[in-house]
Amino acid sequence: MVRLFARLNRPWMHFIVLGCLLFYLQGIFFPEPKAVIGPLDGARIKALQQQWFASTGRLPTPEHRVRMVAAELDRDMLFQRAVELQLYLYDTVVYQRLLRNMRFLQLGEGKTDQELYEEALEMRLHLGDEVVKRRLIQVMEQLLLAANPPPAVTEEELVAEFEKRREDLRRPPRYSIEHLYFNREREAELNTVIATIQERNLSVGETRQMSSPFLPGYEFKRQTPDQLARHFGAAFVKNLQEADPRPGVWRGPLRSTYGLHYVWVSEVRPERDATLDEVRAQLLRDLESRAKAAALQGGMATMRENYEVKL
């Protein structure tokens, strides 16, 4: 013990201890500056607004604009971290993309793929390619989720989500119909055709030759209102529902986007509540997606502590 204290009392040991202490204090009081993310320039903000308008048909509100910019800065942060970790060196998608870019630039003559790849990195093509950026962001998101995996969805959560969304999950009515179609040039004939069908008590199969050609077809089984609207237009569905459709009866004439229709109703399945088993897969996907998004946001919140993000 005396020898130990004697060694610790030597001047060179004092310098080592003092140096370590100063190094530690320097990290506390004079830390390395954080990497800066942002702010976005005017051109990128304008591009984001144009994308919003193209997808929604309206300009973003100030709140939407703030969220768009924040999301874009998060993408920049993920990309920056991926570059810092040199993830581009280990990804085959990035490798193939850089080779394609080099060949597009006609810089590949007489060079091997590896030589082209190394030259692309020297030219820093991986930093300016949007496809490479999207790929590296995707890889970073996967790494964040691997480090912070979302919890598995429990049966209790499924049941609670089902009860919460019971009204939204109601099964829509379904209609099985056949129809005779009369385009606008033949609309005047329809009343005569209807009278003939009623007088002769013709079956729907016996009347098919009376119809004008209708490209989507003549028979539709167990169709929801939305599905019928894709074939006939929303006005037809509204007119059909207002006509009190019942199995085994004709209804019409009903107006659609294309003309008039005389409709034979073969089956009507009324609207009803869904069962949990019917919507289990949908609810599971939604809950897993929500948990994944929350876990990813948690990982990015931790990552932001290492960067200075400027809005």
* 3-class secondary structure per residue, 180-228: EEEEHHHHHHHHHHHHHHHHHCCCHHHHHHHCCCCCCCCEEEEECHHHH
Structure tokens of 18?
A: 């003092």
Structure tokens of 49?
A: 């607004």
Cβ pair 180, 261 in contact under 8 A: yes
Q: List pLDDT tens digits, range 208-235.
A: 888 888 989 999 999 999 999 999 999 9
Cβ pair 301, 289 in contact under 8 A: no
Q: Cα 190–196–199 angle (5° rounding)?
A: 140
Q: pTM of this prediction?
A: 0.70
| pLDDT for position 4 | 46
DSSP result, 285-306:
HHHHHHHHHHHHHHHHHHHHTT
Residue with tokens 């399945």: 269
Residues 55-76 as b/e (b if ≥16 CB within 10 A, e otherwise) read eeeeebeeeeeeebbeebbbeb
| pLDDT for position 272 | 93
Q: Does residue 293 surpass a pLDDT of 90?
A: yes
Domain 174-269 carries which CATH code?
3.10.50.40
* pLDDT band at 189; cut points 50, 70, 90: confident
- Domain residue ranges of the chain, discontinuous segments joined by +: 42-151+295-309, 174-269
Q: List pLDDT tens digits, range 101-150.
A: 999 988 878 889 999 999 999 999 999 999 999 999 999 999 999 999 99
Q: List pLDDT tens digits, range 276-289.
A: 999 999 999 999 99
| pLDDT for position 11 | 57
